Amino acid sequence: MNGEVQQKDGQFFIEAAGRKAVLDYVIDGDRMDIFHTFTAEELRGLNLAEKLTQAAFEFAKKNNLKVVPTCPYVKDTFLKKHKEFDKMIEH
């Protein structure tokens, strides 16, 4: 398994065994809306969504972006475990 986070065209992704885990986002001004994550069934349980979301938040931090977490996984799961990103959230 590769497991390396890549970024292209509004998406962070990890490819492994011909399958993908993805995080989709759009940037509007100084806001980054993370609106979708998906992990192929064969790759679930490997914490890939968490790894992708971490990469997205690091990207936002580096680029001075506020994050709008419209994706249910990011809003309801990731941010409950990662309070260190609370100050980056735009409500």
Contact (Cβ atoms closer than 8 angstroms) between residue 33 and residue 22: no
Domain range annotation of the chain: 6-88
Provide the pairing of β-strand 66-69 with 31-39: parallel
Residue 60, number of CB atoms within 10 A of its CB: 21
pLDDT of residue 17: 83
pLDDT per position as a tens digit, 31-51: 999 999 999 999 999 999 999
Mean pLDDT of 74-87: 96
How far apart, in Å, are the Cα atoms of 7 and each of 14, 37, 83, 86?
9, 14, 24, 23
pTM of the predicted model, to two decimals?
0.94
Q: Is the pLDDT of residue 1 over 60?
A: no
Enumerate the H helices of the chain as residue ranges: 48-62, 72-73, 79-81
Fold (topology level) of 6-88: Aminopeptidase (3.40.630)
pLDDT of residue 79: 97
